[in-house]
Amino acid sequence: MSSTITNKTFIFSLLLVITAAQIGLSYVSLAPGYNLIVALLLGMSETMLVAIFFMGLKNEKRLIRVTALFPFVLFCIMNGAVILDVLFFRNK
């Protein structure tokens, strides 16, 4: 029981660090379009941590994992399209 609480506390702390990085990113000006890319990657990592640990997907059966993975794959495809658009087709 204690290790579960310790793990969730660590994951929560990691989520706070990622959130702080996102807030700090809003004050930093990277190359054109890279702020968006870094923010999307940080958001995807937060989404994965919440889904795996707080929604309990780590201990679920395979069918439920695949069912939860499908929307995440679509989310990654859409983010990939946005990243490609920002990198190659903006400001041209």
For residues 55 and 11, the model is more confident at 11
Residue 92: band (very low, low, confident or very high) from pLDDT cuts 50, 70, 90: low
Tokens at residue 33, please?
């379009």
Number of domains within the chain = 1
Determine the Cα–Cα distance for residues 36 and 28; give it in Å rounded to an integer. Answer: 11
Q: Return the amino acid letter for 6.
A: T
Report d(CA 9, CA 39) in Å as an integer: 23
Write out the two tokens for 10. Answer: 């660590």
Q: Residue 20 has what pLDDT?
A: 96
**22, 43 contact by CB (below 8 A):** yes
pLDDT, one tens digit per residue, over 25-84 is 989 988 877 888 888 889 888 988 888 888 877 777 888 878 888 888 898 898 888 888
* Coil/strand/helix, residue 33: coil
Distance between CA atoms of residues 49 and 55, nearest Å: 9
Structural domain that includes position 62: 2-89
What is the mean pLDDT of the segment spanning 2-9? 75
